[in-house]
Amino acid sequence: MTSRSSRYYDTGRGRPTVLIHAFPLSADQWRPVLEAPPDGVRLIAPNLRGFRGLAEAPRAKADEESLTMADYASDVLELMDRLEIRDATVCGVSMGGYVAFAMMRLAAERVSGLVLAHTRASADTPASREGRDRMIALARAEGPPAIAREMVPKLLGATTLRERPDVVATTRALIEANTTEAIVAALGALKTRPDSTPLLPTIQCPTTIVHGEEDTIVPLADAETMHHGIAGSRLIVVPQAGHIEGAVGLFHSFAGFGARGREGPPVL
């Protein structure tokens, strides 16, 4: 389906859960879940602004570098308004987790449950921001295929890279389907995102934190920081999972987490 500013998937019936994709993918990251939604759950998976080339991405250089996580979060909240969804469980993977934090800053009452997968609360370090700038230069010079070449080995775990060529090919295709403008805009938002660590003790909704055992981007220590900072949160470590893999594989075990009267998944 298409909203005013983006395309999105809307499937299943029941308690709403918003699925926010990772960089530099799209809502199609969630296809395995969307094709078989859990009973009693409505899944809404938006493409963040500009991704998949199906929404208008910033074109001018100044606009590319001024897009923020708050902008993405506002788009998601606006979509919830149009769909008449008062509150929902929000599941964010990697960059999607940063968008989820921004939603908490803007409208915490709209988030009834939270899944923070393969993400961190801290802002970029100076070295990380330099890395974003190098990626921006690469994207402008060589386009999405070059970003796919750089990112696929980082997004997937060693087990998947070795044993699942189909997943490798799909991940590469999702990246290459995006525009250079959307990728550059997202990199600018990533490198300027605020530190969400002070937000952690204010989060009162049921929260699950997911970490991939083979994640080479976000270390377990970052997941543990969020777990210790959010009272009552649960931490799941997914075996043989890389940076973007654990949430989709575990989704049916914690679908509906955040619905009142439901328990979350066990701590592993």
Query: Could you give all domains of the chain from N- to C-terminal order, each with its CATH number?
Result: 8-254 (3.40.50.1820)
State the Cα–Cα distance between residues 214 and 8, nearest whole angstrom. Answer: 29
pLDDT at 255 over 80: no
* Radius of gyration from C-alpha coordinates of the chain: 17
Tell me the whole-structure pTM to 2 decimals.
Answer: 0.90
* Most confidently modeled range among 5-19, 43-57, 226-240, 243-257: 226-240
The least confident of 115-129, 141-155, 189-203, 234-248 is 234-248
Across all residues in the chain, what is the average pLDDT? Answer: 88
- C-alpha dist (Å) from residue 264 to 39, 43, 57, 96, 205: 16, 17, 36, 20, 11
Residue range 156-213, pLDDT digits in tens: 999 999 999 999 999 999 999 999 999 999 999 999 999 999 999 999 999 999 999 9
pLDDT at 61 over 80: no
State the Cα–Cα distance between residues 3 and 178, nearest whole angstrom. Answer: 18
Stretch 62-66: mean pLDDT: 56
Residue range 92-102, pLDDT digits in tens: 999 999 999 99
For residues 123 and 193, the answer to whether their CB atoms sit within 8 Å is yes
Stretch 242-260: mean pLDDT: 65
pLDDT at residue 26 in the model: 94
The helix, strand and coil proportions of the chain, stated in percent and rounded to the nearest 5, come to: 50, 15, 35
Locate the DSSP E strands across the chain: 8-11, 15-20, 41-46, 88-93, 111-117, 207-212, 234-238
State the Cα–Cα distance between residues 44 and 168, nearest whole angstrom. Answer: 25
pLDDT at residue 251 in the model: 65
The percentage of the chain sitting over the pLDDT mark of 90, rounded to a whole number, equals: 79
State the Cα–Cα distance between residues 21 and 44, nearest whole angstrom. Answer: 11
Locate the DSSP E strands across 198-254: 207-212, 234-238
Determine the 3-state secondary structure of 123 from DSSP.
coil
Stretch 43-72: mean pLDDT: 72
